[in-house]
Amino acid sequence: AQTVTQSQPEMSVQEAETVTLSCTYDTSESNYYLFWYKQPPSRQMILVIRQEAYKQQNATENRFSVNFQKAAKSFSLKISDSQLGDTAMYFCAFMKRTGTASKLTFGTGTRLQVTL
Amino acid sequence: GAVVSQHPSWVICKSGTSVKIECRSLDFQATTMFWYRQFPKQSLMLMATSNEGSKATYEQGVEKDKFLINHASLTLSTLTVTSAHPEDSSFYICSARDFGRLRQETQYFGPGTRLLVL
């Protein structure tokens, strides 16, 4: 079974600064996906970024980038130029890549507060 | 693209009644949808995997007779909470699996349904 660990329950960052959220996972699989989802106060889950395990290059999406260290099983999220709208709960998630329905395994989340 | 809707967003019902929640993929076809439950300040807990045209697969500890799932078309899955009780009050979220133009498997989530059973 896969496990996903987010060791930072809460974090705070000032507007325009950079913050990094950590995520580690445990799996014996070699072929999988990793995701960061954001859940703002509206509770809508929004995909922030995805990474395929076979790709060495770190994924980026505008102000969001990841540091994927496959050997260390680490998948941190960096948010640059933080904005007030980034205030949300952030969940790291693992998906095993199979031929059938693939389940997401979520971490416990990190609550990020962006302040003025 | 990859928009998922959920209806209703809010429902209040009396104990003993049944409640149906709909999950629709608006701009793509989803052979597989998922139903989650989220308690306050907690992560998402997968309840079941909904497969179009076949029976749902339930996670351990989830009562299939209590939480009926129907995935009758490629864009619609429904979750019916039967004989609801106060302990069923929760936030229910669905997701739909999409592969997109680049064949990258991703789950896209609906906005959730808040259920309150009195």
The whole-number mean pLDDT for each consecutive block of 10 residues of chain B, a chain of 118 residues, reads 91 97 93 93 92 90 95 93 96 91 84 97
What pLDDT shows up at residue B1? 63
Spell out where chain B has E strands.
4-7, 10-13, 19-25, 32-38, 44-51, 57-58, 67-73, 76-81, 90-98, 106-109, 113-117
Residue A101: pLDDT band (50, 70, 90) is low
What is the spatial distance between Cα A57 and Cα B61, in angstroms, rounded to a whole number?
39
Q: Does B111 touch chain A (CB under 8 A)?
A: yes
What pLDDT shows up at residue A95? 92
What pLDDT shows up at residue B105? 83
Q: Does B103 touch chain A (CB under 8 A)?
A: no
B-chain residues near A53 (CB < 8 A): none
What pLDDT shows up at residue A8? 97
What is the spatial distance between Cα B81 and Cα B17, in angstroms, rounded to a whole number?
8
Half-sphere CA count of B80, side-chain side, radius 13 A: 10
Comparing alpha-carbon positions, the chain B residue that sits nearest to A99 is B105
Residue A43: pLDDT band (50, 70, 90) is very high
Residue A102: pLDDT band (50, 70, 90) is confident
Q: Which of B43, B44, B97 sits opposite A101 (nearest CB)?
A: B97
Is the pLDDT assigned to residue A100 strictly greater than 70?
no
What pLDDT shows up at residue A2? 83
Residue A1: pLDDT band (50, 70, 90) is confident
